[in-house]
Every structure is written in C-alpha cells, then in structure tokens.
Structure 1
Amino acid sequence: MSRRRSTALAALAALAPLAALTGCGGDAAPAPEAPSPTGSAAAPIRIATGPTGQTAVLAHVYAERLRGAGFDASVVDTGTGRSGHLEALERGDVELAADYSGNLYLHLRAPRAVGPGAAPTPSPGATAPSAQRTTPPDRGLAEDLSELLGLGGEGAGDEDVLGGVRDVLPEGLQMLEPAPAENRIAVVVTRATAVEHGLEDLEDLGPVCSALDLGADPDFAARPYGSEGLEDAYECVPEDVVPFASTGELVTALLADDVQAAALFTASPAIEDNGLVVLGDPLDNFVPQRVVPVGAEDLPEAAVQVVDDVSAGIDTDDLVLMTRMTTARDPYTPEEAARYWLDGDDDT
C-alpha cells in the first residue's frame, strides 16, 4: 500500500481535519515541468466536472496543475449527466473534461436528435456547433459494444474501445492520453469463497455459478453484460441475481454469505477494505472503462502536455482513494480531495 493511501486511510478513520492531511507522501511520479504558455495559450481553460465524483476530483487536479504551469484554469459544474459536459465541450463553454472510455463510446454512438429545439440554447458568448445536436439520456449498455466496434462475437478490449472513442468524437474535440486508471464492473467474491471453489477468473466461476447467488445493482440483470453476458461468455447462470439499492447493502450481504458473488466497480473502496477477490474477465464481458480526458482540438499544446503528465500518474488505486475521500461519513469536497492528492504528489 502506498504511503499516500495508507495515510489517507488513517486520516479518514480518525476524521481528521483537512489541515492534518497536507504534506503526505505518495508513489506518483513528480509532475514534470510543462512548457510556459505563450500567445493563445493564455486563453482561459475551463474544465467540466464530468459524470462522477472521481472525474470532479480529476477536474480540480487538472486545474491546479494547469494554474501551476501559468494557465488561467477553472472548474465548471456541468452536472452529472454525460450529455452535459459533452455539449458544453461542443459549444465551447468548457475546454476539457475527464470521462470513462466505455460509457463515453456508447453514449457517442447513441442516436442523436437533430433540428431546431433539439439542443439547449448556448450560453451568452458561447460558440454554437454548426449543427445543433443533443443526446438522449444515457441508455446504459443498450447496444452490444462489440457489434458497434465491428468486432462481431469477439469481446471488446481496452484498445478497441479507446480507438472507437477517437473515431466517434464530435468534430472539434480530441482525446488526450488515457490514464492507467480504470473503473469497470467486475464480479468479486470473498476470499473464503474463492478458496472453496478455486476461483481466479470468470471461467472458473462458470461451472459452479448455478450454486451461487449474485448480488448487483437493480439494473444489472437487464444489461447486455449482466445475466445475458455472463451466460453467453462464461456459461454462468447464477441461482439468483439479487438486486441491492446501495453498494453498502450489497457488500454487507456478500460478507454475510447471503449472496456469494457481487458485481462492483473496481474503484470501490469496499474491495480493498474487505479483502475481496476480483475475478478476472479474460473474455472481456465487462466494458473497459479507462479514464480519458477529452479536450478541444485547439487546446494549447503546453496544456495538453500538462494534462497528459497528470493522467500518466493516475491509476486505479488513486481512484479508490478519491472515492474513499468523497464518500466518507464526513466527506471531502472534490477540491479538497484533489488538493490532498496533489500534496502527496508534490512531496515525492
């Protein structure tokens, strides 16, 4: 466990004030010096909060690093709907946002309404896109990812999805370097269950699946990667798929053996806190979800380098820490969590 993360755990357990968290070390590489902004690089860079609490923390991390490199950077709350920050990017209301590769690709491939009244009115002074378009509310994984990517029956791997995002981004936008961090759905079990059944990946789960109950969020069973995906890829048909309204309730049921497996996001702190075993997904049933910054094509090269350098130091453990801090009983704001992460990074 890194020094940054172990310090955070102790601080959260003690509910220490934010001031006590500064000056802690970490294992991310020191931020390299970025080129000094010149000319058009002095233009403000507005960063959307993105669709999750994690992307909101990342927005503040990007902003702080950009300010340190001489840019006028700020964070803009665009709501948690994916269409919010994408439309803001297309309109020119913001210049940068972090998202997750799989859900971003599926959202961009969803049908879009076209025509007068279909898109929100741009804010004063904003540059409207040449064709007013808006996306419907997120449909989740309503379409098969592999078919959309032209892979046929093969599972969609990480690079397939990243390439797909690059291909379908709206005109005027670019995908910057993805971070190593990911937050995809995975099936997890307790260590006792893993030992009892010899489980390392979902291929091991298939032969014993019918004897186990699987806990998940209420929509899991109906999604293509849910009951249908597990059966198609791994011949895994649980005895029952039990819906839970919250991650806390699901983890409690798993630890009590009320369910023997659970579908959780890989950046959930509950996995580490309870020593849960993440089962591998060799056939890529679950959609890859890498952190991907999306920016305007005219974003200054010096700013792109700053963001790329930050992204290179963000891994899944960092997402776990950010989630832990912003969902604690006495939660930190995204800006406070970003400041803590940056303090740890600066002290390495």
Structure 2
Amino acid sequence: MKRSIAGVAMALAATLAVSACGGSDDPLAENTSSAAGSGGSTSITIGSANFPESQLLAEIYAQVLEGKGVGVTRKFDLGSREKYMDGLKDGSIDLIPEYTGTLLQFLNKQAKETAPDEVYTALQSTLPNNLTVLDKAEAEDKDAIVVTKETADKWKLKSIEDLVPHCGEVTFGGPPEIQQRPDGIPGFKATYGCTFKSFSALEPGAITTKALLDGTVQAADIFTTDSAIEANHLVVLDDPKSNFAAQNVVPLINKDKVNDTVKDALNAVSAKLDTKTLQELNAALNAPDKPEYSDVAKDWLSKAGL
C-alpha cells in the first residue's frame, strides 16, 4: 500500500513539474499560450489561391513563420476567393495572402472606397468576426484590362475609356468569377458603359496570356504585376474612373492564430514588399529554368534579411 501511494505521489510530482515547464498537453493551455501575445507555440495552416503570385506569397509567409519556430501546414492552389473563403470560415485554413480592394468588394458589394488607406480601414470593419488582417504591404497587384500592342495601336488605346467604342467588337478573357464580381463585367458596364461582345472563361496566368496573344480574346483581365506584360509588350489600359480599387497585399488570418511571433513575422514581410519587388519576384518565378516557389521565396527572404 505504501509503495502504491508513493508511486502516485511521484507521478503527481512529475506531472506538476512538466506543467511548470510549459509542457502540458492540455489544449486549453496551448490555446492560451498561442493567443497570449508574447509568442507561445502555435500551428498554422496556410492556403493560397490558384495563381502563381498567391502561391509564392503563401510560401514566403510559410518560410518566415517556420523560421520563427511556428509549425506550418501548406494547402496551396485552393481555387478562387469564392472557394477558399469557406476554408477560412470553417477553420480548415488559417492564413492566406489577400488583396485589400477585391476582398472588400467580395465582402461588401456596395463598397465605394478606392484609395489604399480608405480600402484598408473599410476592410477591417467588414471582415467576419473570426478573421483579421495584419499590416498591408505597399505592394499592389491590381486587376487590369490588358490588350496587345497591336490592338492598342489599331484603336489608339491608352485607357478603358478609349476602349468603350470598341467593346462590342471584343471577346474579353478572364477568370470565371469576374463575370459576377463588382469590379468585373458588371463594373465595366456600370462604370464605363462597356458591354463586351462575348466572354471567355480562362485560368489566370499563361493560359490567359496565350489567348490574348493568339487572338482568341482581344482584351483580358491580367494582374498588373504579371511578368508576361513586359515580356510580351502588352498594354495595361489606364482606369481613370477607378473601377479597380487599391489592391494592396495583406495577410488575412484567423484571429485565434495571431500572437506576437506571428504578427511580427508577417508584418516584417509586408514592410519589405513593394510593387517593384513583387514584379521582380514574379519575373524570377517565370525564369527559363522554372525555379520552385520554395527557392524563389527562400532567396528573397535571405536578401530581405528576414
């Protein structure tokens, strides 16, 4: 009987010792540590959309967090915002790189803000209760209506306004969801009075560029940091009526996953990321040797001192 009591006492003492060192397996204790703010251990599932820049930014987030000792699970190439937002709401992903303007309009189709700070402020008050955004980067990647140089020269195009008289002659290419988004097909009509002859649903990236170059479409939705614009001498049409709001890169994250370690690491990335850098990263990703996302991310983080 004495041996049994002694054994219990030893086990209890060991348990208390482990608890004192922060080694408890109690999930409540772990959540408290993660949310407390000074860098308790946590694990984050990072997602990305279905285009290269989003996947690269997600990989940058993943590597900078891993460098701070945060456990990371990657779930990339999840599709469009319409798809991955469900994952953020149900907790199957915790963090994803986002763009302020399109996210705001996704959440509030009546949003009128277009300037960077106005969009960011409005976004913060519009997010679902379980989500927040950390610091926005200076880097901005906007949707744009893009044409070939030949088309721009033929119709003397510099802005979307210049395209309006020819919209009825144009097959427009872009991701399927742009048919419903406020700054997509509905926005072109409402803001500029532009109704295209037809629409062709295309995956973002190389497929859209090819369709534009081979004449399948005469205008297309292409992100302004896409290296294909410069490489193929494409023309980005000005948007004088601000149909496209500011699109600053921003980490969208589950509030329960934010502690000082996570916040400081991701804010440090945003502080180093400007539009020129984003263009250079996209160009590096599209180099002839087709480097891996992980290599491009690692190289930039090293050069940025992160």
TM over 0.5: yes
Match of 1:305 among 264, 277, 289: 264
Is the contact made by 1:78 and 1:85 (CA closer than 8 Å) also made in structure 2? no
Alpha carbons of 1:85 and 1:319: their partners in 2 closer, same or farther (altered >3 Å)? farther
Distance 1:237 1:331 in 2: 38
Asked if the contact 2:145/2:220 (under 8 Å) is kept, the reply is yes
TM-score (norm 1): 0.61
Shift of 1:166: 0.4
**2:44 is matched with which residue?**
46
Deviation for aligned residue 1:232:
2.4
**How far apart in 2 are the matches of 1:199 and 1:39?**
52
- Code of the residue aligned with 2:240 in structure 1: it is P
Residue by residue over 1:287-331, the C-alpha shift from the partner in whole angstroms, topping out at 9 and shown as x without a partner, is 543211134367333542332221122234444455556567864
What code does the residue aligned with 1:54 have?
Answer: E
Cα distance between partner residues in 2 of 1:224 and 1:172: 24
1:342 maps to 2:301: yes
Change (3 A) 1:194 1:78: same
Distance 1:85 1:323 in 2: 26
Which of these residues, 163, 168, 176, is aligned with residue 134 of structure 2? Answer: 176
Shift of 1:218: 6.2
RMSD of equivalent CA atoms? 3.6
Deviations along 1:28-71, one digit per CA (max 9) or x if unpaired, are xxxxxxxxxx9841423525133344334323323433455xx3
Q: Which amino acid aligns with 1:241?
A: S
Question: Aligned ranges for residues 315-326 of structure 1 at < 5 Å?
Answer: 315-323=274-282
1:241 to 193, 198, 203: 198
Q: Compared with structure 1, are the counterparts of its residues 325 and 78 closer, same or farther at alpha carbon in structure 2 (3 Å cutoff)?
A: same
Q: 2:128, 2:73 → 1: CA distance?
A: 20
- What does residue 88 of structure 2 align with? 86
Change (3 A) 1:221 1:104: closer
Q: Deviations over 1:54-104 (max 9, x none)?
A: 334323323433455xx3123322451423551365x8x74x432222443
* 2:209 maps to which of 230, 251, 262: 251
Report 1:2-21 matches (<5 A): none
Report the secondary structure of 1:41's partner residue. coil
The answer to whether the 8 A contact 2:144-2:236 is kept is yes
Matched, 1:74 2:79: no
Q: Is the 8 A contact 2:170 2:198 kept in 1?
A: yes
Q: 1:265 aligns with which of 202, 210, 223?
A: 223
Q: Is the 8 A contact 2:227 2:286 kept in 1?
A: no
Within-5 A mapping of 1:135-214: 145=109, 147=110, 149=111, 151=112, 156-171=114-129, 173-210=131-168, 212-214=169-171
Q: Which amino acid aligns with 2:295?
A: E
Could you tell me whether the CA contact under 8 Å between 1:157 and 1:284 is conserved in 2? no
Q: TM-score, normalised by structure 2?
A: 0.68
The structure carrying a bigger helix percent of its residues is 2
Unpaired stretches in structure 1, ≥5 consecutive residues: 1-37, 110-144
Q: Structure 1's 292 and 85: CA in aligned 2 closer, same or farther, altered over 3 A?
A: farther
Residue aligned with 2:210, SS: helix
Q: Structure 1 residues 193, 51: CA separation in 2 closer, same or farther (over 3 Å shift)?
A: closer
Q: Deviations over 1:228-287 (max 9, x none)?
A: 42232123334x234154454543343345544222222322212111111121222235
